[in-house]
Structure formats: C-alpha cells, structure tokens
Amino acid sequence: MDKNEDILMDGIDERIEAFLRGEMSAEEEAAFKQEIRKNPELRNRAMAMTSLIKGIREKEERKEVAAIKSVEKKYKETASFRLEKAASNDIGSNDSKEKDSNSKARSVIGWACSIAAVFALFFGIQIDKRFKVLNDTLSPYYTHYALDEVSRGDLDSATTAHLYDLFNQIQESRSVSDIIKELEPIYNSFDDDYTYNAYTNDIAWNLALAYVKDDQIDKAITILQKLKADNPDTPIYIKADALIKKLQDL
C-alpha cells in the first residue's frame, strides 16, 4: 500500500469511528452508507473495526476489574483493614464497590456487543439488498449450459463439461469466489495457451458475470469492453454493451 493509500485508509478509519459514535450528520451518514454498499474494501474495514472496538473494550474492562480486585486484595491483607472491619461495615462497602465495578464492566462490554450486533445487522441487511440488486441485474443474462448435450468421447468433452458446470454454478451459487479463482487464470492465459480457444467468449462472459455477482463491477466492465472490441457486430457485442450500461447505473 503506497503513502496516498495509507492516508486514505486513515481517513476511512476516522469516518467509520464517527459513524459508530453517531457523530455524523444525516447527510454524512447517508453518503457513508451508500459508499459502504458500493465499496467491499470499506465494508470489510468497517466490520473489522467493529470487531476491534469490541475486543478493546472487553480487554480494557477486564484489566480495570482485575486492577480493582488486586488493590482490594492487598488492602484486605493490611492491619488497618482488619481494624476497620471490626469497627464498621466496610466489608459491605467493598463488596458494593466490587459489584459497581463489575456492573460497569458488564455495561461497557454490553455497549460494545450491542454496537457490534447493530453494525453486523445493518451491514448484513445492506449486503443482502446489494446482492439482490446485482443478481436481478444479471438475471436476463444468465444462460443454462446443458451438460447432457456434451458429446461423450470427444477429445475435449471433459473440459467442456467442467466449464459448463462452472458457468451454471455462477447462476446457482451465492458465493462465486472459488469460481472466479478458477476462471481468472484461464482467462489470463488466452494469449499463451490455446486449450480453451473454442470457449474464449463463454469464459470471458461468465467471468464477467461472476465479477458482477461478487460486486467487482470495474473488473466486469473491463472484460465486457474487451468482448465488445473483439466481437463487433455480433450478438455477444450487443449483450455486453447492454450489460455495461446497466452496470454503470449501479
């Protein structure tokens, strides 16, 4: 990460903290929520910060309670304490202090847990909404690849069947990260490896769909623009052009 990116991330952390503390104006909060919906890196950073805040709060309160108990223990070992105990009800007072400290710890830890729960719920809902928008956008462009139509005994039948299975999974699966990991190196090897020559357009098209479903819109548009450049005046040119226009509105 370069210096400019470091500065940007510092600013992001400050904004996330302001959001968690409720210090944003209504306009700032709306803009922040919109940015998080469109930026997976910011969304992941926000979730990580929420978990971090929760962990820090819990650790601080555990240390505070331990310190109070340590002081109380040492005090109870002194002669002064024994005399005071005999003359008064200080033991009840100390018990009350311990209860107060434990209550405070539970209160702050509860606050941190509540913030984390609300944050997770909010982003869970937003992620579900974003996924539905992306999937609905892709719906007209999905194609079912019939595995039973793959010719048995052909030299490349196994390759074809595997690719068709991957393409179908893009439509059927919620998470497509593993599919992207498999298709990306194949797509990037087109210039050097001719194994997939007969499937270049299908691989490129379906990788673009997977990128969209994974909310990597810029990568999808890059592939679709290349498909257009490589296939002028063809049906896939028309499909790619129409999908690009929809993606630019997301």
What per-residue confidence (pLDDT) applies to 7?
A: 44
- Helical segments of 77-89, H only: 79-87
Mean pLDDT for 130-156 is: 77
Q: What is the pLDDT of residues 216-226, one digit of tens each?
A: 999 999 999 99
CA distance 170 to 133: 16
Provide the sign of the torsion angle of the four alpha carbons 6, 7, 9, 10, taken in this order: positive
8 A C-beta contact, residue 207 and residue 180: yes
Q: What integer best gives the mean pLDDT of the chain?
A: 75
Per-residue b or e along 36-49, where b marks 16 or more CB atoms closer than 10 Å to that residue's CB: bbeeeebbebbbeb
What tokens were used for 214?
């994974």
